[in-house]
Amino acid sequence: MTRAFPGPATCGLTVVIPCFNEVDNVGPSYREITNELSDYSLELFYIDDGSTDGTLGEIRTLAAADPRVRYVSFSRNFGFEAAFSAGYRYASQPWVLHIDADQQFPAAESHKLIAAAEQGYDAVFGVRTNRQDPRLRRWGTAAFHFIGARLLRIEIPPGATAFRLVRAELARKIVDLRLGTPYFLATVPRLTSRYTCVQVAHRARERGESKVGMSFLSSHAIELFVGFTRRLTTVASATALFAAGFGVLAAAAAASGLLGSSATAVTLFMLLTVLLLVLSLTVRYLVVVGAGQPKPRQFYIREANVVVDVEDRLFTTEDPEGPRRIDVQLGKGISA
């Protein structure tokens, strides 16, 4: 593939590191990343997703000692998608490398992603070759990819993970779409065909607890299945309408004595018909009308050491409780 733009090896790299209650992993992740990638023009961008432990303090300490460390801290926990979206939006280098703070993807594996990007791709996704996660999570991920790609025909890079290298310009375009379901893996193929996957090593978490449970994976999957294809909602609507029609016929048969049912059965059939008609209309409403309703922003920032847009700030004045190291200079000519 012909390279139409400079790769990360020559033009610079922002490493985005989302953190939620990862106080024990901030320091080790910093040391590992800098040891592996210091030969590049490097920025380390920590995203504190509303941590309630000492994560933010550890990040502040790194930022005070190393000018390459930048960070934003959310006003509360907004979730995984919001955390990396903030990092992508405010990354200053032309390429963004996403590495989670838990260090399950070794920083040394980044060189594989970088080598692939140098061939002309807009995005490179890591695929785990020896996944070191509980069996239930592995099965859940396999089912997720099978349903999404095979049954619902959603284009998802096969086996892709959050360990990825993306052109910052592409990443920002995806973030700025402000989709109702901002599923990054499924959005990249909608914007570019120049993406690929490479196999990378994976290791077990050494410190802290995983924040990704089955409830998170389930809700994440439902958002993808509903937000990136109409097949699921179309099938649901068609099934409800078919059942409603069947209910009308059954009610008529019961009323005429063909089924030998009583007036109670007729009433139940009619109630079922009404219920299914309402369900079908509700599904279509949520898809067609509800998707267009205004929503809050994906995240709000309380503290940072980078310039952020005023719309992304929760407050535009100093915290009334006192100084809290709010170093942010607001965009559009407003200062904190």
Average pLDDT of the residues in 317-323: 47
Which pLDDT does position 264 carry in this prediction? 62
Helices (H), the chain: 8-11, 26-37, 55-65, 80-90, 110-117, 135-145, 168-176, 184-191, 214-227, 231-255, 263-288
- Residue the block writes with tokens 């990704």: 212
pLDDT reported for residue 159:
81
Let me know: does 50 contact 75? Beta carbons within 8 Å: yes
Q: Give Cβ neighbours of residue 52 (< 8 Å, ≥ 6 apart).
A: 21
Check residue 161 and give its pLDDT: 86
Residue 335's pLDDT band (cuts 50, 70, 90):
very low
- Determine the pLDDT at residue 162: 87
Residues 83 and 58 sit within 8 Å (Cβ to Cβ) = no
Condensed to tens digits (0 to 9), the pLDDT of residues 88-138 reads 999 999 999 999 998 889 999 999 999 999 999 999 999 988 775 666 666
Q: What is the share, in percent, of the chain residues with pLDDT greater than 90?
A: 39
Residue 148 neighbours by CB under 8 Å, 6+ apart: 154, 156, 186, 221, 224, 225, 228
Query: Residues 44, 70: contact at Cβ < 8 Å?
Result: yes
Q: What angle do CA 4, 112, 160 make, to 5 degrees?
A: 90
pLDDT digits (tens, 9 = 90+) for 199-226: 999 887 777 566 555 566 666 666 666 6
Which carries the bigger pLDDT value, residue 171 or residue 334?
A: 171
DSSP state of 308: B
Q: Can you read off the two tokens belonging to residue 217?
A: 């994976």
Average pLDDT of every residue of the chain:
79
Distance of CA 46 to the CA centre of its chain: 16
| Residue-wise pLDDT tens digits, 227-271 | 666 676 677 777 777 777 777 777 777 777 776 666 667 767 776
The whole-number pLDDT of residue 331 equals 37
Share in percent of the chain as helix, strand, coil (round to 5): 45, 15, 40
Task: Supply the pLDDT for residue 325.
Answer: 42
Asked whether the whole model's pTM tops 0.85, one would answer no
Q: What are the helix (H) ranges across 38-128? A: 55-65, 80-90, 110-117
Kindly state the average pLDDT of the residues 145-167. 79
By C-alpha distance, which of 124, 83, 129, 88 is closest to 106? 129
